[in-house]
Amino acid sequence: MNLFATLNEVLNSDVLSRIAAYVDEPTEKTNKAVNGLVYTIIGGLMKRTTTEIGVNQLFNHIQKGRYEGTLTDNLATTLRDPNQTNTLITQGDEVISHLLPAMKSSIGSMISSYAGIRNSSAISLLGLTSTIVLNVLGKQVKSQKLDADGLASTLFAEREAFVNAVPDELMPRLIEKVGLHQIVNGVATPARRSAVESPGRSVASTSGSSVRSTATVTRPSVSYDPVDDSDSDNGALTKWGVGALLAVALAVGGYFVYQNTINHSGVAQDSSDLATVTGDTIQADTVTRSLAVPVEPKPQTATAAPTAVSTAAPVSTTGLSGNLSQLMTPYLGNAMLPKGRVFPLTGVAFIPGSLSLTAGSQATINELATLLKSYPQLQIQLVGYANDAQAGVTNKSLSFKRVNQIKQQLMSSGISFVRIDAIGRGTGVAKNDTSRIPKPTMRKINVKVVAK
């Protein structure tokens, strides 16, 4: 299954022009927005299916919503009717609310900024695109007779294509807004319900167990289905009877406790007072000590920052790692120099075709973390290039995973993800380059200063 190729066929020029007319936006900008939303929704659904609940919810939503792909067969005709178009948008809004909860506004603002359209148009396009994507997935489920696990695996099979297809301009925003760090780095995997259901499964009857598994697990996972929470009338009466007996028992027990409490009220009061005084004393002492903690490191923090910068080079044992501070410190310390300068991370290298750093690379990454801590206003963009990808992985995907691995290490050292963008550019040679002039491929990582 080539999901993105299928969606490109469905979202042809005729369909996009009708969508643009409905939202009253230029066709070019609408096309950019819809493509961005396709990547956003597919990425979001991949993340959703990393949990068993998410796998069940996606599958159930496709089944109950009857997303069988019939819409995609005559989509252009459907979009001629504004009322039917509005119905599709409403259906998509429900999809986002259930499958990507609390993300509607953030996705809308991201696409609005990315494509240069109104925020209201982006929200409408989000609903419409969500309905189209689920119809394409539903058609695949029906034609291949996929269960929930098969659907999740099918989505994750598109991960490499996803990393290669997302535009460089959109990828950093998409990762942060939707939280796709583990997805693009290849760490996340689809959850499988069979791991939980295996005790009650018969190995001999594979097809039958698959049907029973789908029926018993998917139904209770849907939070908006009231049928599963119902009970029989006899069960309800039994619960009320047990509750009444418990209430009587508690009332009788409470009466005897009350009598004993009156007899020993003096002792209890003294104990309570003592406990209160002791508790207040302990609390006051705890508060005093907790307030004293931040006071001590303040002068240390003020003196530690300059020391870290000045000693960054001596700490490194390699000349390459010390070179980064020597290059960047004069530039960062001069407010008159404009932002945007690019510095090579010459001390960072990976074993060919892998995500494993070489021995001397960690020192340079630590040095970069020190610079980010020493200059709190500093924001950077890590730009990776690769020309050593092996079978099954593209150079763009490899370059992107490498810079994101460095980003994760910087975040682990205490740097906020907001201050670090990461983008992979493959070999550095554009696919649409028609100059016919041979250009050398690249394998390196640069640091671009976005703010200082």
Least confident range from 92-106, 145-159, 231-245: namely 231-245
Concatenated DSSP letters for 50-91? TSHHHHHHHHHHHHHTT--SHHHHTHHHHTTSHHHHHHHHHH
| Amino acid 229: pLDDT | 40
Q: In what order do the strands lie in the sheet with 342-344?
A: 342-344, 444-451, 379-385, 420-424
Q: What is the pLDDT of residues 123-140, one digit of tens each?
A: 999 999 999 999 999 999
Distance of CA 198 to the CA centre of its chain: 29
Whole-number Å distance between alpha carbons of 129 and 340: 36
* Residues pairing with 379 in the sheet: 451
Any idea which residue has 């016919």 for tokens? 436
Residue spans of alpha helices (H) in 179-318: 181-184, 194-197, 206-221, 233-263, 265-292, 297-315
How much is the pTM?
0.60
Range of weakest confidence among 29-33, 298-302, 421-425:
298-302
Highest mean pLDDT among 66-80, 179-193, 197-211, 310-324: 66-80
Consecutive H or E run containing 109 = helix 104-115
Q: Does 37 or 221 have the greater pLDDT score?
A: 37
Please check the confidence at residue 180 and state whether its pLDDT lies above 70. Answer: yes
In this prediction, residue 244 carries a pLDDT of 64
**Residue 198 above 90 pLDDT?**
no
Local structure of 450: helix, strand or coil: strand
Q: What is the model's pLDDT at position 212?
A: 38
pLDDT for the residue 256: 58
Instruction: Give me the chain's average pLDDT, please.
Output: 77
Q: Are 371 and 324 in contact (CB under 8 A)?
A: yes
Please enumerate in sequence order all residues whose Cβ is within 8 A of that of 439, keeping only pairs 6 or more positions apart, or say none: 428, 429, 433
The two three-digit tokens of residue 207, written as one number: 């097809």
For 64, the token pair is: 């109950």
Indicate the pLDDT class of residue 252, thresholds 50, 70 and 90: low
In this prediction, what percent of the chain has a pLDDT beyond 70?
Answer: 70
Task: Round to whole Å and give the CA distance between 294 and 277.
Answer: 27
Tokens 């583990």 belong to 182
Q: How many CB atoms lie within 10 A of CB 60?
A: 20
Q: Do residues 157 and 143 touch, judged by C-beta distance below 8 A?
A: no
Q: What is the pLDDT of residues 326-366, one digit of tens each?
A: 999 999 999 999 999 999 998 899 999 898 999 889 999 99
The pLDDT tens digits for 277-286 are 344 443 434 3
Higher per-residue confidence, 297 vs 47: 47
CA distance 313 to 235: 74
pLDDT for position 241 = 62
**Token pair recorded at residue 422:** 């990461």
Helix, strand, coil percent content, the chain, rounded in steps of 5: 65, 5, 30
Query: Confidence class of residue 239 from pLDDT cuts 50, 70 and 90?
Result: low
pLDDT > 90 fraction of the chain, expressed in percent and rounded: 46
| CA distance readout (Å), 53 to 50, 87, 220, 288 | 9, 27, 10, 45
At residue 350's C-alpha, the angle toward residues 344 and 354, to 5°, is: 140
Average pLDDT score over residue span 421-445: 79
Instruction: Tell me the helices (H) and strands (E) count for the chain, helix number first.
Output: 21, 4
pLDDT of the residue at 304: 40
**Mind giving me the DSSP string for 179-203?**
T-HHHHTT------THHHHGGG--S
Token pair 């993800």 is at which residue?
A: 417
Pairing of strands 420-424, 379-385: parallel
